Amino acid sequence: MASTHCEWGKLEVVKNDSKSDQIILSKTEFTIGRKPTCDYSIVDNPYLSGVHAKFNFHEVTELSYLTDLSANGILLNTVRIKKNTNVELHNGDKITLVMKGASHRLNLHLRLHLLSGENAGESESPFEVKLGQIEAEENGELVKEKPNYCDEDTTVSAIDTLKKVESISMKQVEVLTKAGYNKIPAITHSESFEEQLLCGVCQEIMHMAVSLQPCLHSYCAGCYSEWMEISKDCPACRATVDRIAKNHLVNNLIESYLKSNPGKRRNPECIAELDKKNKITEDLLYPPKRRAHTFLEEDEYYSPSDEEFLAVPPFFPTLLPTHTPFSTSLFSMPGIFTKCRQCPGFIGIDLTGTTPVVTLSSYKCPLTAPTHLICMCCNQPMPDRSTCTDLSVPPQHCDVCKNAYCHMYWGCAGVSCNGCLNEFRNYSFDPAVMLDIVNRNAIESDILTQYLEKKKISINQMLLECLQKLDENEYKCTDSRSSLISAKTRICYGCALKNFRDLAFLYRKDIPLTDLPDDIAARPVCYYGRACKTQTHKPIHASKYNHACEQTRFT
């Protein structure tokens, strides 16, 4: 407890009107804040911290100090002071505890009037060194009388004064130590942790924290909503904000901290005001993708680097609207013209690709305004016969993603074509896909591969067995379009591989434990099952737990 003392100073509350209140400083340690336990409590100002500021007075040196304990900061003569650090005060200093705008009604400005010794006179300069007291201390005498300031006749030169500042400051520390003044606060772990939870706009503990991407700075949702109307840049680093996301980790840390420190919780009025300001909706948190909706961006195996393989060859027109699917008849647009192998007068190399499933007819494109499709595998044009009612015309589109492929029409000429359009049951997958076929988990995929080798089951046999169970509704793919898929579905290679991965997981899941090695069968089940994100890049975790199961926690 701070000891009581005769009045050593007073704080005058500076207001716009002529009226002013006074706070009498009558303790060597005097606190101001919102808590009722403070020496001077102001409960109706939401911008004040529980313990906002502390004033210290040292009876021996007759020096007074200010310590910032707030979350929002304190200004001393319009300059922000360092937090949790003692700053020496002088008579007439202006102290700003709350500053929320030039004319905000909750602003709190104080004027300090010192009553002890010559501190009541004019504000002294930081370089007016108390030589009399320090010299007395060197002689072993502890004086409490007025310090002997140097007058104009005895003032040392500025250079000499600067040279003595460091040594005299050290002697002042020794004087304070001898007098038992060891109350300079240290930054505690709790205070250091609290600084990490402060909003960069309001300097209070964040409420409904949101993080900006790509810089990842966090702010109150209400505070950033106001800032968002002014600028699209981050308030801290001025980086351009691409996306806003709720920061669940920070919100959980804040909630845990406030449970341990309920006095730091913002009052209901302040929280209600922030909620009212909050304009960050679900559309802002989850904006539409930068490009228009295409099947490629739905495919989990698609990456932007794939675009270089999907570019139109140089001899094709380049006026392809990015918002139009490739399966439409692009070349029927005015001013765009190309020829395929079935166009009259076609001159070029007749590319021979994989053997088509159906024998090609003698169809010829019309002379006027022929329409074409672009194969997504080889980028070659072919006639658009999607409106033809003749059932003998080979299919040109994937039944799942609706994109165009030429394999079943006349044989695809793609360099790495694996039969880009085929019935699901007719696909022959390369053994390389088995390396991560189950959840993209190399461990579970290896377990499945070893089981197939042990039972002498080929990949195609496993596929047919899975498709049979799919047709019988024993298996179900996670693809949102899986209701369209059966063994006879005409499906592109990308959609086939995606759904084959789902079927392989179900096949691995159904393997009896008795057919697995003892160490594999004895593994505990991962709570997250197939949804576990760690299994793909942490081999130790993938081998320690069984991931051939559904998620059982946080569902």
Check residues 282 and 548 and name the one with the higher pLDDT. 548
Mean residue pLDDT of the chain comes to: 76
Confidence band, pLDDT 50/70/90 cuts, at residue 337: low
Q: Which residues contact 110 (CB under 8 A, 6 or more apart)?
A: 11, 12, 13, 14, 23, 94, 95, 96, 97
- Domain spans of the chain, in order of start: 4-178, 189-285, 289-417, 432-479+492-544
Confidence band, pLDDT 50/70/90 cuts, at residue 174: low
Dump pLDDT digits (tens) for 179-188. Answer: 444 444 444 5
Cα radius of gyration rounded to whole Å, the chain: 39
First-to-last alpha carbon distance for the chain, in angstroms, is: 52
Percent pLDDT > 70 in the chain is 70
479 vs 384: CA distance, rounded Å = 28
CA–CA distance from 114 to each of 4, 7, 23, 73, 87 (Å)?
A: 17, 9, 12, 23, 15
Q: What is the pLDDT of residue 533?
A: 92
> Interhelix angle for 442-455 vs 493-509, to 10°?
80
Q: What is the pLDDT of residue 366?
A: 85
What count of Cα atoms within 13 Å lies in the side-chain half-sphere of residue 534?
Answer: 14
Q: What is the pLDDT of residue 5?
A: 56
Asked if residue 77 has pLDDT above 50, the reply is yes
Output DSSP code: residue 14.
E
Asked if residue 549 has pLDDT above 70, the reply is yes
Q: What is the pLDDT of residue 162?
A: 44
Q: What is the pLDDT of residue 135?
A: 42
13 vs 22: CA distance, rounded Å = 6
- The stretch 264-285 carries a mean pLDDT of 80
Check residues 141 and 116 and name the one with the higher pLDDT. 116
- The stretch 87-109 carries a mean pLDDT of 83
107 within 8 A of 120, measured Cβ to Cβ? no
Confidence band, pLDDT 50/70/90 cuts, at residue 345: confident
Q: What is the pLDDT of residue 546?
A: 95
Pick the CATH number of 4-178 from 2.70.98.20, 1.20.120.550, 2.60.200.20, 3.40.350.10: 2.60.200.20
52 within 8 A of 81, measured Cβ to Cβ? no
Global model pTM greater than 0.85? no
Confidence band, pLDDT 50/70/90 cuts, at residue 302: very low
Looking at this protein, which amino acid is placed at residue 462?
A: M
Asked if residue 111 has pLDDT above 80, the reply is yes
Q: Which of 85-94, 219-228, 374-383, 445-454 has the highest mean pLDDT?
A: 445-454
Q: Which of 25-29, 225-229, 529-533 has the highest mean pLDDT?
A: 529-533
Asked if residue 532 has pLDDT above 70, the reply is yes
Pick the CATH number of 289-417 from 3.40.50.10470, 3.30.40.140, 3.40.50.1010, 3.40.50.720: 3.30.40.140
Q: What is the pLDDT of residue 312?
A: 38
Asked if residue 408 has pLDDT above 80, the reply is yes
CA–CA distance from 89 to each of 12, 38, 57, 164, 169 (Å)?
A: 15, 20, 10, 21, 16
Dump pLDDT digits (tens) for 210-234. Answer: 998 888 899 999 888 888 888 888 8
| CATH superfamily, domain at 189-285 | Zinc/RING finger domain, C3HC4 (zinc finger) (3.30.40.10)
Check residues 47 and 426 and name the one with the higher pLDDT. 426
Dump pLDDT digits (tens) for 346-397. Answer: 776 555 555 554 455 678 888 887 888 999 988 888 888 888 877 788 899 9
CA–CA distance from 30 to each of 10, 35, 56, 77, 471 (Å)?
A: 11, 13, 6, 20, 80
482 vs 377: CA distance, rounded Å = 23
Same CATH topology for 189-285 and 289-417: the answer is yes
- Number of Cβ within a 10 Å radius of residue 10: 16
376 within 8 A of 310, measured Cβ to Cβ? yes
Q: Which residues contact 299 (CB under 8 A, 6 or more apart)?
A: 401, 494, 495, 498
Asked if residue 28 has pLDDT above 80, the reply is yes
